[in-house]
Amino acid sequence: MLVITLEAGSVRPDDLVTMRLVLEATHLKTDQFAVIVNKVSPPILKCIDTDEDLRNLLHLMINSTLPEKTNFIHFYSQIKELTNANDQQLPLTDTFYQFLETCPSAAITKPNKIDTTQWKTKVQEAAKN
């Protein structure tokens, strides 16, 4: 399971690069992993929930640079009370529990070492796209 956040309504380039590196190292295949988009502002989450085109666009943005794709993507709302809070537990929704129950699980055996030496350059390249 990979966790990312949005920035100004777009997937952050550093999250895309990190996901790609992890997936390349772990050899996970299509739909063997899930993505949680965390801390989505309530107004944007409402748009995602009601606008199928927007939801599809975000799925495309998330999957576009990955070596393998996933249909298991969940958008989780930002909780104002937890902003900058320490030692807090996230109240999980029924929808999130349902998502977790449908998520795939895969054993990761013999992952490759992740080469992070070019991470910054790859993030800058991803930001251009």
Averaged pLDDT for residues 72-94:
85
Q: Is residue 127 part of a domain?
A: no
Residue 90 has pLDDT above 80, yes or no: no
Q: Grade residue 117 by pLDDT with cuts at 50, 70 and 90.
A: confident
SS3 state of residue 110 = coil
Q: Is residue 62 part of a domain?
A: yes
Q: Grade residue 126 by pLDDT with cuts at 50, 70 and 90.
A: confident
Averaged pLDDT for residues 94-98:
93
Q: Is residue 119 part of a domain?
A: no
Residue 55 has pLDDT above 90, yes or no: yes
DSSP 82: G
Domain that holds residue 76: 2-114
**What does the alpha-carbon distance between residue 17 and residue 89 come to, in Å, rounded to a whole number?**
28
Please tell me the total count of domains within the chain. 1
